[in-house]
Amino acid sequence: SQQGEEDPQALSIQEGENATMNCSYKTSINNLQWYRQNSGRGLVHLILIRSNEREKHSGRLRVTLDTSKKSSSLLITASRAADTASYFCATDASGYNKLIFGAGTRLAVHP
Amino acid sequence: NAGVTQTPKFQVLKTGQSMTLQCAQDMNHEYMSWYRQDPGMGLRLIHYSVGAGITDQGEVPNGYNVSRSTTEDFPLRLLSAAPSQTSVYFCASSYGDRGDTGELFFGEGSRLTVL
């Protein structure tokens, strides 16, 4: 069973708009991570947020974590066509390298 | 640095054949893991390792075997391939800090088809 569930499954926006993706999980976690995957490629790490953190920024990315609701969101501001990819959340619940991924959100950014 | 290197990139097998997917990393990471990715399913953890000589099962370990004799290498063996094992396989590595899993570095994937 998957720990994280992303919402929406697919998102289509215009360049310049913001994109928000959500992730819900089931058990307490050590940290939550977001990854990006371009078509046919491996995953690339975007950001890691620990259970005692509420918000993190990295460039145009903003991640929030609400441990009381067991949810996280990834915001991409001023999106570009190059942001078109699948985005996955992954949770480290039991530690020691057992990172569990959700099914992902497919983002399409149209010029 | 090469990062995480997976071979082969593509493989076609017949049902019942065995094979090994190779994975090597040059970042001196203690943690390594294997995932499979199927359409609409995201990534599912097959086996993982927290150091040389230490491996454990993930979510979907049946039909797969691993060993970790060195820090650098973490091969995945398919014992008797089945069509259900048709998938894209990803190897990943990361540093570990007292149980906290850091960011994963992924290979480019191995695309396996079992006929």
Residue range A26-50, pLDDT digits in tens? 989 989 999 999 998 999 999 999 9
How much is the mean pLDDT over chain B?
93
Of B32, B42, B56, Cβ closest to residue A2: B42
Residue of B nearest to A106 (CA): B40
pLDDT of residue A86: 96
Cα distance from B80 to chain A (closest Cα, Å)? 24
User: Residue A2 — pLDDT band, cuts 50, 70, 90?
Assistant: low
How much is the mean pLDDT over chain A?
92
Going A51 to A53 to A46 to A2, the CA torsion angle's sign is positive
Share of chain B above pLDDT 70, in %: 97
pLDDT of residue A3: 63
Interface test with B, best of A9, A51, A89, A97 (most B CBs within 10 A): A97
Q: For residue B54, which amino acid is it?
A: I
Residue with tokens 């990006």: A36
Query: What does the pLDDT look like over A58-80, one tens digit per residue?
Result: 999 999 999 999 999 999 999 99
Q: Is B54 on the interface with A (CB under 8 A)?
A: no
Please state the separation of Cα B20 from the chain's center in Å.
10
pLDDT of residue B96: 75
User: Residue A14 — pLDDT band, cuts 50, 70, 90?
Assistant: very high
Cβ distance of A103 and B58 shorter than 8 Å: no
Cα distance from B84 to chain A (closest Cα, Å)? 17
pLDDT of residue B110: 97
Query: What does the pLDDT look like over B57-97, one tens digit per residue?
Result: 999 999 999 999 999 999 999 999 999 999 999 999 998 76
Interface test with A, best of B103, B105, B110, B111 (most A CBs within 10 A): B103
Within 8 A of A90 by CB-CB distance, chain B residues are 43, 104
Cα distance from A60 to chain B (closest Cα, Å)? 19
Share of chain A above pLDDT 90, in %: 79
Cβ distance of B94 and A88 shorter than 8 Å: no
B33 φψ region: left (φ > 0), alpha (ψ -120 to 50), beta (else): beta
Rounded-to-integer distance, Cα A70 and Cα A73, Å: 11
Q: Is B23 on the interface with A (CB under 8 A)?
A: no
> Both tokens of residue B102?
């850091």
Of B45, B96, B106, Cβ closest to residue A100: B45
pLDDT of residue A1: 47
pLDDT of residue B83: 96
Rounded-to-integer distance, Cα B64 and Cα B57, Å: 10
As a whole number, mean pLDDT of residues B7-24 equals 97
**pLDDT of B30 over the 70 cut:** yes
